[in-house]
Amino acid sequence: MVEKNDRLVGLADIEGKTSPHQLQVKGALKMRAAPLEYVKDVAELAAFLGGSLVRPGIGEDWAVSKEVFPGVSVWFVFNRADDEFPARLRALYSGDKIRMIKGDELATITISLANQLLRYVREANPGVKLPEVCYRV
């Protein structure tokens, strides 16, 4: 299991503060966050993704990571909704080769993996009325 020792970076850290891909990913993940409230077994979700359950220690309710290339991992960090804030899903990146990958590639990979998270929600909750975004992937 990968732990908090890995250096995590965002797309803005890779591409610069004006990263258009960061905005693209942020918008896509915002749409996909609420359905993740239906995740009951995070270890099962990680296995479905072909990834690992991780604990980065940044105030998350849960997190999973997926190595997409040798030396390049995508981390999905989830916070459940509470009385003050809606559910939140963030994508962070780690690995010694992360800066070799262009921002548009990381954005595409991240959104594709986020869609896979929704497929898990759909499969793990048969007969449950889920948010519409779960049926569009």
Quick one: 91 exposed, middle or buried, by C-beta within 10 A (0-12, 13-18, 19+)? buried
Model confidence pLDDT, tens digit, residues 53-81: 999 999 999 999 999 999 999 999 999 99
Q: How confident is the model at residue 4 (pLDDT cuts 50, 70, 90)?
A: very low
Q: What is the pLDDT of residue 1?
A: 41
Q: What is the pTM of this model?
A: 0.92
Model confidence pLDDT, tens digit, residues 16-29: 888 889 899 999 99
Residue 79 falls inside a structural domain: yes
Residue 4 falls inside a structural domain: no
Q: How confident is the model at residue 15 (pLDDT cuts 50, 70, 90)?
A: confident
Total of domains in the chain: 1
Residue 5 falls inside a structural domain: no
Residue 6 falls inside a structural domain: no
Residue 1 falls inside a structural domain: no
Parent domain of 26: 11-135
Residue 80 falls inside a structural domain: yes
Residue 3 scores a pLDDT above 50: no
Residue 106 falls inside a structural domain: yes
Residue 34 scores a pLDDT above 50: yes
For helices 20-33 and 103-124, the axis angle rounded to 10 degrees is 0
Q: Please list the alpha-helical segments (H only) found in the chain.
A: 11-15, 20-33, 42-49, 103-124
